[in-house]
Chain A
């Protein structure tokens, strides 16, 4: 039963107020992309046992989508941050590295 802080309204939200939305920072491939790129975009999800960037919506709340960096093995949450960004911000990377020195972004 996770709790995540919504970066938009500042509420520490219960999991039941949220909706999970899968892997974050996917790059959309549309018309003109190769079959391989498109397959990767739709189906090849990161499935790490460890640090994972993911999307959540504060559905029973302010309605905003946000991102979380979370460990799928311990469920530790390193940071939550707004969705309008194409890759994890440097301070989020730093927060993860502080807790998981062996981890590095791809």
Chain B
């Protein structure tokens, strides 16, 4: 792999950039791989990368129905944070966040990780207590967060309106090393690094069946023929239920639409990411200047990558209340993704009833920020059959009633 650098650009400029090589190869499938990962989104590619980097397993194929990074990796609001309450969540998200810190250098691909800081606004007393609890948990989990005053919120976000008639800002949970990254670049950077390790990324290849013998996986049927494998990782987000069905088991997952939107670009006016959970909206400003806005999910199953407009409306009115200046900005584009939501809204990284098949799904609305940590832990699970990062996220928890519930701060009071 030829390294990317300013010098390489200068060298290429002299010859009109005719010498750049492919970022990743376009190989023909082999007959058999040690590990097949289905799904070339961020999580799948990161899994492949860490299989190679941490465990020396490079006879790996990543199979993708469409184009790599074309699913939720390329449709999210790119927020990275690890200020989670429950220990297993904090562990995997903080692992991910710390890997984002050095990802550009590790992959020799600038993913533009921007640790600009994330504030989660507390707008009810109940929320204040919830975030104070998170701050205390984070202190023991090695996650650096701080509960800050409304005045400090205003210093960090001058465009915010603290005293709305409905939900005044009472403080916020601040993670100064949270931030954003360039979502496509994460997938592209991993893909380039995987390809460089000799792994095969098979795009436009759809898995049509999963084969097993004696309860053990043997390979996958694809639109490019049968491909054998010793181990199989399913990392297909919203389509995990459909794929699991092909393999003969069910997952406690439902697929719903999540929507996001961006404004037209404006000059920098907000340097941090702000999340307002009471009113269901969050916003950051991209390097291009667009205000990137996300909101809630639909409550019904949906595979259309389109959602209902009233969610956009709810989110926008909440954000206008929080940031009055956006009223005169314009919505440039809205889009939807299909997110896979589990019974406790936490992910599944688990063995399955079929030996050799592992599943990584259920990230719901929080997947992007987890990509490197998820890949790291899932690679270990696939390679070794166990990982401390993934232990708590097994499928068995639904039978045992051992949930990982991050929504505990929500709910009723008084």
A residues contacting B by CB (< 8 A) are 1-2, 15-16, 19-22, 35-36, 39, 42-45, 47-49, 52, 54, 70, 72-75
B254 within 8 A of A: yes
Q: Given that A1-B310, A15-B308 are known contacts, is A42 also in contact with B300, CB under 8 Å in the complex? A: no
- Cα–Cα, bound, A2→B300 (Å): 10
Partner of B303, one of A15, A45, A49: A49
Interface 0/1 of B296-332, CB less than 8 Å to A: 0011111110001110000000000000000000000
7 other A-B residue contacts (CB within 8 Å) besides A16-B310, A43-B342: A35-B399, A47-B251, A47-B254, A47-B255, A48-B241, A49-B239, A72-B302
Task: Determine how close the nearest CB of chain A comes to the CB of B75; give it in whole angstroms.
Answer: 18
- Cα–Cα, bound, A35→B401 (Å): 10
Nearest A-chain residue to B342, judged by Cβ: A43
Q: Which residues of B contact A36 (CB under 8 A)?
A: 399
- Cα–Cα, bound, A2→B342 (Å): 24
Partner of A52, one of B251, B301, B342, B399: B301
Once the chains bind, are B303 and A20 in contact (CB under 8 Å)? no
Partner of B299, one of A19, A39, A49: A19
Once the chains bind, are A42 and B303 in contact (CB under 8 Å)? no
- Cα–Cα, bound, A16→B253 (Å): 25
- Cα–Cα, bound, A74→B300 (Å): 13
- Cα–Cα, bound, A1→B251 (Å): 27
- Cα–Cα, bound, A39→B308 (Å): 31
Q: Which residues of A contact B301 (CB under 8 A)?
A: 47-48, 52, 54, 72
Task: Determine how close the nearest CB of chain A comes to the CB of B392; give it in whole angstroms.
Answer: 16
B343 within 8 A of A: yes
In the complex, which residues 246-266 of chain B have their Cβ closer than 8 Å to any Cβ of chain A? 250-255
Q: Which residues of B contact A47 (CB under 8 A)?
A: 241-242, 251, 253-255, 301
Q: Which residues of B contact A54 (CB under 8 A)?
A: 300-301
Task: Determine how close the nearest CB of chain A comes to the CB of B302; give it in whole angstroms.
Answer: 6
- Cα–Cα, bound, A49→B308 (Å): 18
Q: Which residues of B contact A44 (CB under 8 A)?
A: 250-252
Once the chains bind, are B310 and A15 in contact (CB under 8 Å)? yes
Nearest A-chain residue to B250, judged by Cβ: A44
Q: Which residues of B contact A1 (CB under 8 A)?
A: 308-310
What are 6 A-B pairs at a CB distance below 8 A?
A21-B299, A44-B252, A47-B241, A54-B301, A72-B302, A72-B304
- Cα–Cα, bound, A10→B225 (Å): 51
- Cα–Cα, bound, A36→B301 (Å): 24
In order of increasing CB-CB distance, the 5 nearest A-B pairs are: A43-B252, A47-B241, A20-B299, A20-B300, A43-B343
B20 within 8 A of A: no
Task: Determine how close the nearest CB of chain B comes to the CB of A96; give it in whole angstroms.
Answer: 16
Task: Determine how close the nearest CB of chain B comes to the CB of A2; give it in whole angstroms.
Answer: 7
Q: Which residues of A contact B241 (CB under 8 A)?
A: 47-48
- Cα–Cα, bound, A22→B308 (Å): 16
B398 within 8 A of A: yes
